[in-house]
Amino acid sequence: MSEYVLEMKDVYKAFPGVIALNHVKLQLRPGTVHALMGENGAGKSTLMKCMFGIYSMDEGEIYIDGRKTEIHNPSEALEKGIAMVHQELQPIPARTIGENIYLGRYPMKKALGFIPVVDHAKMYEDAQRVLKEVRMDFDPHMKLGELSVSQMQSVEIAKAVSANCRVLILDEPTSSLTQNEVEALFRIIEDLKAKGVAIVYISHKMDEILRISDEVTIMRDGQYIGTWDAKGLTTDFIITQMVGRELTNLYPPRENVPGDVVFEVDDFTSINPKSFRHVSFNVRKSEILGVAGLVGAQRTELMEGIFGIRSKTSGTVKYMGKELHITQPKTAIDNGIAMLTEDRRASGIMGVLSVADNISIASLNQYVEHGIVLNNKKIEELVQENIKTMNTKTPSSKTPISSLSGGNQQKVLIGRWLANNPDVLILDEPTRGIDVGAKYEIYTIIADLAKQGKSIIMISSEMAELIGMSDRIMVMCDGRVTGFIDGKDATQENIMELATQFEA
């Protein structure tokens, strides 16, 4: 028997115009957490999709318990004990938790002695057992759509456990979890380790990696850089190996000089009594206003209200002293306001379209000639200039955006809004799920926009990011503004104090 439950050797995978994996290896020991790290576009997800049978390798071999094997599709992967919880969940909200757990492999029985039908009683009994095994107190008869995103992710983990997996791939598993939910996930991981399961853990969160990993493999530009024992590794060492250079500063220097107040929100209150209420704030020209708060603080809901996505019962929005009557996103866009949404996949990118389509979609009206004809030459010039300015890594403008890394998708979305030359940019979690190198590029773009005179409102759940980037920080708790902190005076302690000021 091999000491490795699974090995990938000399894996090569190319897509049109790009080499995604260049002779990469990975070795997984049973009962360990193996962190797989690298910048967006390093090839981590591609390697996992090769392991799970979503992609076929152009070259390379896979060994399970020392025996060479082939995996042609996810069904074969599951049969061989490999399960994967994807970063982008694809639930079926209208079906029950039990049905989602056993989707595609329902337990069957014979009706009338010969007609195969789904054995619902066994399915729900087994689902209840699996949910209990991973410490999830859910009724398997509940519709999945009644759960939060983080709870749906927990169901995905239960689904993997139900397959009696020996290798579990977790791709950015904590990107949408609260701290309590992260702790619950870590307890599940420890339970699985004790049962001998090898866990591949993909994350950009250094504190998590250093806390739970036994080994760390780092990739860069589709190549294998090395594997290290996690004990004794430092954040600086990991970053250096990931980006191929030292990053002495995680944030660009602040060269913007905030000017007069240009954007004002007064007494903004949601139609939903459990959402934002009586919120007032302003933003100055060339200012980056950070927005802090815990999960449930209603930060996203507030910005969606300002942008015309959600309804309000009271409140005004003014730009340069002029009141704006925003009832839908188009009105906000027409008045020079842009919003980068929190969820890239659900409400940001249009995955079936190209990079060019995604960049130009919000500004096509500028390129209509004679009332009906688009000037494709000018649109392509816009796209190419945008790709160059954003330093977006893409084989061509015609490449489907879904094939780009998360960081490059984010650059495309920022570029989409900049094509409209907005005055106010609302950025909701602009670096979520993005590696440290791509983060710095996004930070630099944001800093340059502020220097050019744009007013930036930036929501972030990472306090270090808020402190490193903001001129001022507005803190929210339970739908209310609880205070403002000058950027140079901000600390994690005084932010957290305001973020936990619940009403008595």
Residue 467 belongs to a domain with what CATH number? 3.40.50.300
pLDDT of 163: 82
Helix, strand or coil, per DSSP, at residue 324: strand
Q: Of 243, 267, 285, at which residue does a domain stop?
A: 243
Q: How many domains does the chain have?
A: 3
Q: Are 60 and 68 in contact (CB under 8 A)?
A: no
399 & 435 share domain: no
Q: Of 243, 258, 291, at which residue does a domain stop?
A: 243
105 & 196 share domain: yes
Q: What's the rounded Cα separation, in Å, for the pair 451 and 466? A: 17
Q: Give me the average pLDDT of each 10-residue run along the chain (504 residues).
A: 90 85 96 90 89 94 96 92 81 90 88 88 92 85 84 82 89 75 86 93 87 95 93 88 73 92 97 94 98 88 95 95 94 93 81 91 86 89 90 89 85 89 93 78 92 96 90 95 95 90 76
374 & 463 share domain: no
173 & 188 share domain: yes
pLDDT of 19: 86
Evaluate whether residue 93 is within a structural domain. Answer: yes
153 & 221 share domain: yes
215 & 361 share domain: no
460 & 312 share domain: yes
Question: In the numeric block, which tokens belong to residue 122?
Answer: 């066994």
- The DSSP symbol for 438 reads H
Evaluate whether residue 502 is within a structural domain. Answer: yes
pLDDT of 23: 94
Evaluate whether residue 159 is within a structural domain. Answer: yes
Task: Give the tens place of pLDDT for each residue, 104-134.
Answer: 888 899 888 889 999 999 999 999 998 888 7
Q: Of 188, 211, 243, at which residue does a domain stop?
A: 243
Note down the domain range covering 150. Answer: 6-243
82-85/59-64 β-pairing: unpaired
Evaluate whether residue 478 is within a structural domain. Answer: yes
Long-range contacts of 491-497, Cβ-Cβ distance < 8 Å, separation of 24 or more: 491/467, 492/463, 492/464, 492/467, 495/292, 495/463, 495/466, 495/467, 496/463
219 & 278 share domain: no
pLDDT of 448: 94
153 & 301 share domain: no
- The closest alpha carbon to 171, from 146, 205, 215, belongs to 205
Evaluate whether residue 1 is within a structural domain. Answer: no
pLDDT of 254: 85
Evaluate whether residue 109 is within a structural domain. Answer: yes
Task: Give the tens place of pLDDT for each residue, 164-181.
Answer: 899 999 988 877 676 777
pLDDT of 88: 67
Helix, strand or coil, per DSSP, at residue 21: strand
239 & 254 share domain: no
All residues at 6 or more sequence positions from 115 whose CB lies less than 8 Å from its CB, including other chains: none
Evaluate whether residue 274 is within a structural domain. Answer: yes
Q: What's the rounded Cα separation, in Å, for the pair 347 and 196? A: 39
259 & 228 share domain: no
| Other residues' Cβ atoms within 10 Å of the Cβ of residue 373 | 9
CA distance from start to end of the chain: 61
160 & 264 share domain: no
- The closest alpha carbon to 498, from 478, 488, 467, belongs to 478
pLDDT of 117: 93
Evaluate whether residue 276 is within a structural domain. Answer: yes
- The closest alpha carbon to 190, from 33, 53, 367, 406, belongs to 33
